[in-house]
Structure 1
Amino acid sequence: MGVPELLESASLLVPEDTATENDITVRDIWDYLVHDEWEIALGLLEELGDAHSLPLAFWEQLAEAAEQLRLERSATWCHWRCSEIRNGVIRADLTLRPATEARRTTPIGSGVLRPMWDIGHHSPTGGRAVSIARLWIENMTLLEPGGQATVRLVPLTPSHWTHVQPGQQITMHEDRTVAGTAVILEVHRPATAMPAR
Structure 2
Amino acid sequence: MDVPELLESASLLVPEDAATENDITVRDIWDYLVHDEWEIALGLLEEFGGTCSLPLEFWGKLAEAAEELRMERSAAWCHWRCSEIRNGVIRADLTLRPAAEARRTTPISGAGVLRPMWDIGHLSPTGNRAVSIASLWVESMPILAPGGRATVRLVPLTPSHWKHVQPGRQITMHEDTTVAGTAVILEVHRPSTAMPAR
Q: Confirm or deny: 8 A CA contact 1:56 1:193 kept in the other structure.
A: no
Distance in 1 (CA, whole Å) between partners of 2:100 and 2:27 is 52
Aligned twin of 1:26: 26
Distance in 1 (CA, whole Å) between partners of 2:9 and 2:124 is 47
Distance in 1 (CA, whole Å) between partners of 2:114 and 2:94 is 14
SS in 1 for 2:100: coil
Note if 1:92 corresponds to 2:92. yes
The residue type equivalent to 2:84 in the other structure is E
Distance in 1 (CA, whole Å) between partners of 2:159 and 2:177 is 22
Distance in 1 (CA, whole Å) between partners of 2:176 and 2:149 is 20
Q: What is the Cα deviation at residue 193 of structure 1?
A: 4.0
SS in 2 for 1:5: helix
Q: What is the Cα deviation at residue 51 of structure 1?
A: 2.1
> Which TM-score applies when normalising by structure 1?
0.98
Residues matched between the structures, number: 197
RMSD over equivalenced CA pairs, Å: 1.2
Distance in 1 (CA, whole Å) between partners of 2:51 and 2:92 is 18
Note if 1:151 corresponds to 2:152. yes
Q: Confirm or deny: 8 A CA contact 1:164 1:187 kept in the other structure.
A: yes
Q: Deviations over 1:140-187 (max 9, x none)?
A: 011010010000000000000000000000000011110000000000
Distance in 1 (CA, whole Å) between partners of 2:140 and 2:183 is 17
Unaligned segments of structure 1, at least 5 residues: none
Distance in 1 (CA, whole Å) between partners of 2:179 and 2:106 is 15
SS in 2 for 1:50: coil
Superposed counterparts of 1:1-197, under 5 Å:
1-110=1-110, 111-195=112-196
Q: What is the Cα deviation at residue 49 of structure 1?
A: 1.7
The residue type equivalent to 1:98 in the other structure is P
Distance in 1 (CA, whole Å) between partners of 2:82 and 2:13 is 15
Q: Confirm or deny: 8 A CA contact 1:106 1:144 kept in the other structure.
A: yes
Distance 1:39 1:193, change over 3 A: farther
Q: Flag as ranges the 4+ runs of structure 1 deviating above 6 A.
A: none
Q: Deviations over 1:94-146 (max 9, x none)?
A: 00000011000000012111000000000000000000000000010110100
Q: What is the Cα deviation at residue 192 of structure 1?
A: 2.6
Distance in 2 (CA, whole Å) between partners of 1:107 and 1:32 is 37
SS in 2 for 1:113: coil
Distance in 1 (CA, whole Å) between partners of 2:103 and 2:24 is 45
Distance in 2 (CA, whole Å) between partners of 1:107 and 1:98 is 11
**Identity of paired residues, percent?**
86
Range moving further from structure 2, 187-196 or 134-143: 187-196
The residue type equivalent to 2:140 in the other structure is N
The residue type equivalent to 2:104 in the other structure is R
Distance in 2 (CA, whole Å) between partners of 1:107 and 1:12 is 39
Q: What is the Cα deviation at residue 194 of structure 1?
A: 4.5
The residue type equivalent to 1:64 in the other structure is E
